[in-house]
Amino acid sequence: MTEATFWLYDLKIEVIATDKPMVCNHQAGDYFLVEGENIIFGPNGSFPLYPLAALLPLLPAKQRDTDASDWISTDAVIACPDPHCGGQFLISRTTKRQFTHAETTGLPDQRGVPYWDKSTGNTSP
Ligand SMILES: [Zn+2]
């Protein structure tokens, strides 16, 4: 039996500058990554809470294939929620990562070894 699989894009969210100064503690070039369910902060190790909160609802949609006519497919630059801040955020789809249903679901009768536990050699759900 073949396992049911699906794909998600990995994302890079990078701060870009405009002609307005930054208000928040994000600088041009700062970034974080999204890989599956995980957020990985860039070298500076942090990202301000309020722009992160504004970006979070968009990220699961950006991880998935969307219709070419859908704005979520074409629009990649999001403004900082602080109207006085010059920061903008470029969301890029970087690569695709494949998951199985069993390694990601919480449904007890369909649950396999979590994807994050496979590297430990664990083979039981
Ligand atoms: Zn900002």
Q: How far is the CA of 50 from the centre of ligand 1 (A)?
A: 8
Give CA–CA dist 77/92, Å, rounded. Answer: 9
Position 49 in a domain: yes
Count of structural domains, the chain: 1
Q: How far is the CA of 68 from the centre of ligand 1 (A)?
A: 29
Q: How far is the CA of 85 from the centre of ligand 1 (A)?
A: 5
Q: How far is the CA of 125 from the centre of ligand 1 (A)?
A: 42
Q: How far is the CA of 81 from the centre of ligand 1 (A)?
A: 7
Start-to-end C-alpha separation, the chain = 18
Q: Say if CB 26 and CB 87 are below 8 A apart.
A: yes
Domain that holds residue 28: 5-100
* pLDDT tens, residue order, the chain (125 aa): 568 999 999 999 999 999 999 999 999 999 999 999 999 999 989 999 999 999 999 999 999 999 999 999 999 999 999 999 999 999 999 999 999 999 999 999 999 988 888 777 777 76
Position 109 in a domain: no
